[in-house]
Amino acid sequence: MENKNNDAVTIAPEVHKILFENEKVRVLDVYLPIGRKTKMHWHPENVSYIIQGGEMRVMKVAGMVNEVKLIAGKVMAGTEGEHIVENIGSSDIHTVQVEFKK
């Protein structure tokens, strides 16, 4: 894993918990309650399995803002980068995220 000062687990440990880690992957339990907004943090390339869906706003460093609907049971790919996420929906969001190490 690249050594980043703004690593998701370091910046937002109340949202990101390590479930498993080895030389190839890090698996995170990600739980974002209704109304929670994280500080700017970084993830490597990853995939997430949505346990409990909802709606979140994703704000990227370059100022790009997207609203994303997460659907339980789906898998979504994520790209490497920095962002802030905010739960703007009416349910808590819960995912398992697998980060790929380079």
Domain membership flag for residue 22:
yes
Domain membership flag for residue 85:
yes
Domain membership flag for residue 37:
yes
DSSP code of 37? B
Q: Which domain CATH number covers 29?
A: 2.60.120.10
Domain membership flag for residue 3:
no
Choose among 80, 60, 65, 70: nearest CA to 30: 70
**How many structural domains compose the chain?**
1
pLDDT score for 86: 98
Domain membership flag for residue 76:
yes
Tens-level pLDDT at each residue, the chain (102 residues)? 454 689 999 999 999 999 999 999 999 999 999 999 999 999 999 999 999 999 999 999 888 999 999 999 999 999 999 999 999 999 999 999 999 998
Q: Which domain holds residue 96?
A: 8-100
pLDDT score for 61: 87
Domain membership flag for residue 1:
no
pLDDT score for 1: 46
8 A C-beta contact, residue 99 and residue 46: yes
Domain membership flag for residue 20:
yes
